[in-house]
């Protein structure tokens, strides 16, 4: 009876399926390829507008060691010191003279919405996407932008966490002492973690982190941000 009824609607269903298929084909062709660095910049630019004061202050206080005046003993040369740092280290954002003066006078924490500081926030937001998969960036981007982007380009080289085996820590020496955001294992001796690696792995399988207490520190999106090392 049901089959008969279904058969009656069959042409409609076939047509519907065909329409869905055609739509997917069209979407695929409409996909716009974008380099991952460009995609990160687009995302950072749209996210900067949403940054709260507390988030801005946190970035200023923690991410940028060059904002700390104690690194330059010579007061008179502070501006030159900052300019030189920016020139030498390709990863630091370029700042204008007024912003450097703001830092020199230690006024930057009082003005977290000062436009001159935007390059610092932009850099920090881009840096948050270091080592994440192209799929992850693509999903974020396609949520915010109309066209369907296809993110291309090589993911930065990452280190593999010895506990959960995701590529979630810095590569080589950079990853030493890094705390994995997926399982909360600290990449170092077992003593730093107060448990053996075997124990930590078992806990990760059973609890989702190296211990019950660490569950609140892990990144819920971690597993979709980073790739699991299949090797
Ligand atoms: Zn891990």
Q: How many Å lie between the centroid of ligand 1 and the Cα of residue 223?
A: 10
pLDDT at 1 over 60: no
* pTM of the complete model: 0.77
Q: Which residues contact 61 (CB under 8 A, 6 or more apart)?
A: 109
Q: What ranges do the domains of the chain cover?
A: 36-127, 172-225
The pLDDT tens digits for 166-219 are: 999 999 998 999 999 999 999 988 888 999 999 999 999 999 999 999 999 999
Provide φ and ψ at 63, rounded to 5°.
Answer: -80, -25
pLDDT the model gives residue 24: 59
Q: How many Å lie between the centroid of ligand 1 and the Cα of residue 133?
A: 16
The pLDDT tens digits for 218-230 are: 999 999 999 998 8
pLDDT at 83 over 60: yes
Q: How many Å lie between the centroid of ligand 1 and the Cα of residue 213?
A: 15
CB 121 within 8 A of CB 59: yes
Q: How many Å lie between the centroid of ligand 1 and the Cα of residue 60?
A: 27
The DSSP code for 67 is G
The per-residue pLDDT of the chain, averaged, comes to: 85
Q: How many Å lie between the centroid of ligand 1 and the Cα of residue 129?
A: 17
- Distance, CA of 75 to CA of 69 (rounded, Å): 9
């Amino acid at each position: 009876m049901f089959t008969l009824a279904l058969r009656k609607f069959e042409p409609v269903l076939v047509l519907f399926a065909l329409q869905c298929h055609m739509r997917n084909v069209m979407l695929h062709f409409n996909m716009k390829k974008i380099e991952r660095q460009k995609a990160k910049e687009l995302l950072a630019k749209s996210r900067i507008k949403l940054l709260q004061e507390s988030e801005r202050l946190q970035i200023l206080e923690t991410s940028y060691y060059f904002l700390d005046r104690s690194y330059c003993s010579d007061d008179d040369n502070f501006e030159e010191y900052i300019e030189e740092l920016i020139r030498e280290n390709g990863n630091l954002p370029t700042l204008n003279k007024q912003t450097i003066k703001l830092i020199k006078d230690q006024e930057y924490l009082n003005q977290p919405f000062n436009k001159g500081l935007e390059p610092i926030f932009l850099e920090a937001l881009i840096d948050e996407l270091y080592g994440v998969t192209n799929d992850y960036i693509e999903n974020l981007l396609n949520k915010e932008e109309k066209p369907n982007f296809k993110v291309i380009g090589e993911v930065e080289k990452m280190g593999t966490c010895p506990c959960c085996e995701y590529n979630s820590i810095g590569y080589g020496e950079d990853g030493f002492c890094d705390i994995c955001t997926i399982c909360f294992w600290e990449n170092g001796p077992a003593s730093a973690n107060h448990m053996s690696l075997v124990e930590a792995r078992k806990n990760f399988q059973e609890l989702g982190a190296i211990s019950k207490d660490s569950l609140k520190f892990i990144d819920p999106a971690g597993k979709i941000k980073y790739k699991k090392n299949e090797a």
